[in-house]
Amino acid sequence: MKLSGVEVRRIEMPLVAPFRTSFGTQTVRTLLLLRAVTDEAEGWGECVAMPDPVYSSEYVDGCADVLRRFLVPALAGEFSGATAVAPSLRKFRGHRMAKAALETAVLDAELRARGVPLSRELGATRDRVPCGVSVGIMDSIPELLDAVDGYLAEGYVRIKLKIEPGWDVEPVRAVRERFGDDVLLQVDANTAYTLGDARHLAKLDPFDLLLIEQPLDEEELLAHAELAKVVRTPICLDESITSAQAAADAIRLGACQVINIKPGRVGGYLESRRIHDVCAAHGIAVWCGGMLETGIGRAVNVALAALPGCTLPGDTSASGRYYRTDITTPFVLDDGHLTVPTGPGIGIAPDQDALDEVTVKTEWIPL
């Protein structure tokens, strides 16, 4: 395969409603889309970095810069396909979200040329996946209950509540009392707590949660292991898991019982599959997280979520959860599930008119 160049598009997608987490509130999703042009086909990838380095050290402008100056030029000349991307970029430290977007675009082009769906390439065993939904921090408990009621009415099979100090036990209690014990419920702290909050977090135990996601700082694996001795609710790691090696280390330390795989965070879907395999070998449940993706990123996440070890509903969600108009054919819930694309590559492509409408800047990086 030979790459002739990569188009980088900066787009801005208005959200249907503000989405608040412990690290801030989003009203518009700003991200990068990559179109890799090879001598065999074209492919698409989505960079899930945010405008500011608050979820991770990466941010949109930084990703555009490192792609332009280092990552795309490193793929000049002939190479053996998507599996060669990560080795070619290894000398550049970090920048996993930018690397993931580039590898995904190359992988999409390669699989389109071969006529192979991504789901088959990854080893998916299902043609539809159950969907959970992430519910942001609200201004009041009644507002939260109304939101959860609406998502359950739409058919979502699992509810995830964002939490932070001051917005944790009482919102969870209210949801449990209103909707009952049969609702699959979990919480996500996005690193908002410290080990000193262990006794407080143990107050969530009576609510029979599926898991508590990333309660402590991403570098505090030992602290997570200590927390697991105090709380009965299973600990799920998100930000801490940056590779298959990091997953293996966390499992060995007893820092988690569940892992959330976000492909952008770990450097791509091939590394995501390796994390899935490590977890499966150790009996650790995994699920596919989300970063408010467009239909491009959502299509690839759904393929990952169809792997056999993804035994918990992911944050894949329908397109309408975040966007009134997507840049692709929208993903729509069907009895709480999304259908896995079956076309070659990621199985979906953007609508050019819709894409142009939300494009802020386009840059061609030639090779």
**Rg of the chain in Å (alpha carbons):** 20
Q: Using an 8 Å Cβ cutoff, are 211 and 186 in contact?
A: yes
- What does the pLDDT look like over 250-294, one tens digit per residue? 999 999 999 999 999 999 999 999 999 999 999 999 999 999 999
Catalytic residue among 2, 99, 229, 262: 262
Residues 76, 133 within the same domain: no
User: For residue 164, is it within any domain?
Assistant: yes
- The question of whether 2 is a catalytic residue gets the answer no
Is 160 catalytic? The answer is no
pLDDT at 28: 95
125 and 142 fall within a common domain: yes
Whether residue 111 is found in the same domain as residue 151: no
DSSP letter (8 states) at residue 80:
-
Residues 323, 208, single domain; the answer is: yes
Crossing angle of the two packed helices 269-281 and 96-114, in degrees rounded to 10: 100
Query: Which listed residue (2, 91, 99, 162) is catalytic?
Result: 162
Mean pLDDT of the chain: 96
303-333 confidence digits (pLDDT tens): 999 999 999 999 999 999 999 999 999 999 9
Tens-digit pLDDT profile for residues 86-115: 999 999 999 999 999 999 999 999 999 999
Count how many domains the chain has: 2
pLDDT at residue number 22: 83
Give the CATH number for residue 160: 3.20.20.120
- pLDDT per residue as tens digits for the range 346-363: 999 999 999 999 999 999
Per-residue pLDDT at 139: 94
Question: Phi first, then psi: what are they for 50, rounded to 5°?
Answer: -95, 165
pLDDT reading at 23 higher than 90: no
Assigned domain for 240 exists: yes
* pLDDT tens-digit series, residues 194-231: 999 999 999 999 999 999 999 999 999 999 999 999 99
- Let me know: does 6 contact 256? Beta carbons within 8 Å: no
132: which strand partners? 158
Domain of residue 10, CATH code: 3.30.390.10
pTM over 0.75? The answer is yes
